[in-house]
Every structure is written in C-alpha cells, then in structure tokens.
Chain A
C-alpha cells in the first residue's frame, strides 16, 4: 500500500475545484485513457489577468487526483506568468511529498497547466502537443520533457526519470537514450553505462558473453514488446549470426530492425566492427 500523506488523502477524498469552468479562457488536456492517467484543466481570468476560476477533471489514481486538486488551489489568484513558475516540485511539496514512483502525477499537473496557458495565449487554437523528439515510444515522452524533469528535480538515474515521466517504464528499450540525456543535462557521468567498453582486446569467450548480455539487456526486451524474439546462433570473428522468432520472423521490416537496432546496439556495447547476419539454417 502506498504511504500517502494526510494531505494527499484529504485532496483525494475531498478534491477542490472539480469540474469544468464555463466558457473558459484556457483549456489544457494531457494524458490519455491508455496511459492510465489524464487531466483536463480549465480556467477563467479576471479583469486584472489573474486566474479567477480554475477547475479540473482527472482520470487516475489517488495521487493524480490529489495533485490536480492542489494545483488548482496553488494557481488560483495568480497571474499566468506567476502560475507558469509553478514546478512539479511545488505541487509535490504542497502535498507533503509523494511516493517516488508517483512523481509523474505532479509532472502531469504542471504539464496540464502549461498546456492550458498555451491554449489561452494562442487564442484557443493550440491544444497540447508533443515537443521535441520522442524518446519513449511506449508512453510518448520526448527528450525535452525528460531534460526538464532532470533539471528541475536534480534526477540522476533512469529509474528516477521513469518515476517522474513514465519514460522507460514499458519495453525499456530507451534506457540508453535516457541515460545519455541525463548525462548531457547534468553535465557529468552520474549514471555509468552497464557495459563499459573495455580497452584491451576481448577474448572470444568474453566477446560472446558480452554479445549475449547486450542482446538480453538491450535488444530482446524491445522485440518482445512487439511479440517478437531473437536468438543468437553463432559468432565468427566480427560476424554475429542471429535468428528472429515470433512476430519478428514474419515482419517485413526484419532487415530494417536488424540493421538498425541489433547491429547498432552491438557496435555500441561490444565492438565497432560487428556485422550482423541472419542465420538461414537456424532451427525454426
């Protein structure tokens, strides 16, 4: 059971400002039914440009509902610029803290607020859309969003990024990219790569082991997420022979997958000269 603070429980059981503002000045909608949480925020400004009324509707767990509720309390009476200074940290702090795994609820609150303000500033035209390059395809999280939570919350590990944005919480295929974003953002090698490229030449046994490890850690999970699989058949010098199973075997994009993912990953983790070929005589 989650260890929710009394404040979280209070805002979940007695949520403030539920509903939709009539004829709102701004509407922000983030999340989706598929993702497991979604928030619709509507607000109206008074004649001084301050938020006179703000309401929310949320699909999600207790902490998602509580985060939405306190967000409306925090921003009521603020100007839009003041409101935009609210970070996900502020939301979490107001609640007396959230379990680490639930921090993405506070991030969703901040995102809905930004979407609503943007919607107002573009004259009601612009609805929320992804900005930047999508890193996590399972949950549709972009590099910009990841950079931002890393910066604002001093995150140092992939696991934390997952707690805050959900990125990397599905097939885990994007963990390497998330790690690079963390390193770039905090400007230091805080999160060490799991397989450090060794300086000396690998023995054959070491090389095969490393290839197996790389397939297990970085390649198979992504394929399995789409119902496929990969099997290592043999290693001859720099030639790695593999076979694709399940959905991958019949996939028309198999060649693309192999070149793009398997070879790239093996070159990244094992050695730059690796060539991947598909075993034809492999057991079917």
Chain B
C-alpha cells in the first residue's frame, strides 16, 4: 500500500538533495571542524556554507545563526538565555497556544518564581494585541509568541507584536518552526530578536535546528563547554545535520513559490471537498492568516483517533487534537484555548501537506474521507439514523 503523507507539520521527508549532501560526511569527511588540519578544515567550510544558506533563507547575517539540536533546544535556549542575561526582570509573556517546547518551559520557570502571563486567543486562534500592550511592563524580561501555530496553521501578527515589544524595550522571541520554509522571511529589518527553527520540518534531517539571535541581543548560553558557535552553543557540531539543514534552507527558498501556489491550491481543494461531502464539519482557526499547507477540521459526533486509524487503513497519515490520540485525557490545548467545544475538539483532524504531495493523492483522500466519517457516525450514539 502506498503511503499518502499529510502530516508534514509533524515531520517531513528528507529531500534527496539534502540526503546526498549529508552522506559523505559520515564515513568520508568525518573530521572535526575545530581541528587544526585541512581534513577538519574542509568540514568547517561546509558548516560555513550551511550558515550562509540558513541566513539567506531568513534574510539575516550568517553570524546571527546558531546551530542547535532542534526547535525545542532553540526555544529553551532563547527563553532561559534571555532570563539569565536580565536577572532583575521576572516576567515572561507568551500565549496559551504555544508548542509545548515553549509552554512547558515557561510553566517550569513559573515554578521557579517567574511570573508567566499567557495571552488568550479568540475563536480564530488570534491574540488580542491590546492584551499584550496592557501586560508589557518594566518587569517583562521576554515575550515569546509563535510565528505560526502547528495545529491550526494560524499565523500571528509578528511584525505588530515585535514593534510593540520594541517600543517597550522588551526582547521578542518567536518559535518559527512551522513558518520557516512555508512563508517568506526577511529578518534584517524586522522587529524580532530571536527565532527558533527546526531542520526536519523543512525537508531537512531530525536533530538539528537554528536559533537566530539578532546582533546585539544579550543572551547567556544554555550549554557550556567548547567555543563552538562563537561560544553561544558548546559541543562538537552535528556536521551532517547542519549541512543537511543548510541544503534544506536553500531548497526551501527555491520551492517557496511552489509552497504558496500549488500546495495551497491542493490544501484548499482538500478542505473545500471535505466540507462539501461531510456534514457537520468545520475548519478550526483563522482562514485568512494561515500557513498554505495546513488545515484543521473538526468532525462532530466522532472521535479523532478512530478517524486516524481508518485513514491509516488506506495508508493516509494525518494527526488529531483528540484526547485519545495524544495519550492524555484532554483534547488539544490549542483548540480548547480557542473555545472549540469539546465535542468538536475530540473529532479534529489536521492535514498538513508538502511539495511532495500530488493532486492524485489529494483526490484519493477526498474520496475516502466521507466513507470514513459515515462509517464512524453509524457507530456513534449521538447520530440519529
């Protein structure tokens, strides 16, 4: 059975070109980039190239790129690094819909005496900029608000948020893991001080990411040891990962147009067809400010994990915000923060596409989805037949 992969916000296929770049770095060019011999120096050049590739995608200086082990490390390093550099300030502002890499980090800091303010979101999943304004003060050490939400694809008004933070002199971090590679970036003249990104969300390898730190932003390193990454992130570089990520950034620039035209059209086709063929289905989140590849749909009266299991029978990969699929007992914190009723949150399915999806695949999902929904609704005590 062919796999139809529509779970690209979870992880993506490594691009062939990326894999080809990485391969020689395992057994052939395995030198340590810090070594004082040309065998290692050759590898160092590869890292410099990757730094330029990442900087080109983000529209920033290569020196502002810090390679990390992934999005979670970048988020931790940014938030904790800023707090450590400003010990007198005790308040963090974030949102209720952040990825756990930010939310759990903030809640842990709260246990250590920090004041954490979580901004609410409306039914579209958008924050109220005035609520942010009301809460910014002299005690605020950092604001961390995601660029785009992983579950709904909702894009936040980052420029407006950043401008506000700047007027209060508060450093602004954004978890841009879902946004980088899907929408254009130009950080050179943009009011954001730090962003996190992850290799495996843009057809790069797992276990590598970037923390962008604007020149002049004071942060205390999160890990100590060697002088790597200009003393900002110790530890021998994950060379194949970094080189793969660099290549993935280069490809993302090339494919950006594709992502925002063809991928978006496929997403819209899938979404519109499902809404037409499946009654009692609704889109979750802001439909205007949204990533081009993501749709989050709630199917009333049926449960998400059961939908996923039936999709799996057809080789279709998606994900759900239901309680059962996560192993927790409550449905997605994002959908709950948006006020999506429990009944709809339990039956939510996220499809996230990539440039590798074909129209044929989307047509196949469009054909199977109503069959799956009807089958489960026949079992549901809440549907009168």
Contacts and interface: CB of A to CB of B under 8 A. Distances in A.
Interface of A: 12-13, 15, 18, 29, 33-40, 57-62, 64-65, 101-102, 138-139, 162, 166, 169-170, 216, 231
Contact of A59 (B310, B323, B381): B381
A18 B303 CA distance: 17
Given A36-B346, A59-B303, A62-B305, A162 B379 contact: no
Interface in B328-362: 328-331, 342-343, 346
Given A58-B380, A60-B324, A12 B329 contact: no
A177 to B, nearest CB: 17
B306 interface: yes
Top 6 closest A-B pairs, CB basis?
A: A169-B329, A61-B324, A61-B305, A57-B381, A40-B381, A33-B343
Given A15-B379, A34-B342, A37-B324, 10 more contacts: A13-B313, A38-B382, A58-B380, A59-B303, A59-B380, A61-B305, A61-B324, A62-B309, A64-B303, A101-B327
Interface string B371-385: 000000011111000
Contacts of B343: 33-34
Nearest to B301: A59
B115 interface: yes
Contacts of B329: 36, 139, 162, 166, 169-170
B111 A216 contact: yes
A12 B330 CA distance: 22
A221 to B, nearest CB: 10
Interface residues of B, number: 28
A62 B306 contact: yes
Nearest to B331: A36
Given A169-B328, A169-B330, A60 B342 contact: no
B322 interface: yes
7 contacts: A33-B343, A38-B382, A59-B380, A138-B330, A162-B329, A169-B330, A170-B330
Interface of B: 111, 115, 301-306, 309-310, 313, 322-325, 327-331, 342-343, 346, 378-382
A118 B21 CA distance: 68
A36 B323 contact: yes
Contacts of B313: 13
A60 B303 contact: yes
A59 B378 contact: no
A73 to B, nearest CB: 16
A61 B330 contact: no
Given A12-B309, A33-B346, A33-B382, A59 B331 contact: no
A61 B381 contact: no
A62 B327 CA distance: 13
A166 B331 CA distance: 13
A170 B329 CA distance: 7
Contacts of B324: 36-37, 60-61, 64, 102
Given A29-B381, A169-B330, A37 B115 contact: no
A177 B333 CA distance: 26
B380 A61 contact: no
A18 B306 contact: no
Given A18-B378, A59-B382, A37 B330 contact: no
A59 B302 contact: yes
Contacts of A139: 329
A36 B381 CA distance: 13
Contacts of B115: 231
B67 to A, nearest CB: 31
B322 A61 contact: yes
B111 A60 contact: no
Contacts of A33: 301, 342-343, 346, 382
A210 to B, nearest CB: 14
B382 A12 contact: no
A12 B305 CA distance: 11
Contacts of A170: 329-330
B379 A65 contact: yes
Contacts of B327: 101
A18 B309 contact: no
Nearest to B329: A169
A29 B380 CA distance: 12
Nearest to B324: A61
A12 B378 CA distance: 13
B331 to A, nearest CB: 7
A169 B380 CA distance: 24
Contact of B325 (A12, A34, A61): A61
Nearest to A215: B111
A38 B381 contact: yes
A59 B302 CA distance: 6
B342 A61 contact: no
Contacts of B301: 33, 59
A57 B379 contact: yes
B311 to A, nearest CB: 12
A51 B346 CA distance: 33
A65 B379 CA distance: 8
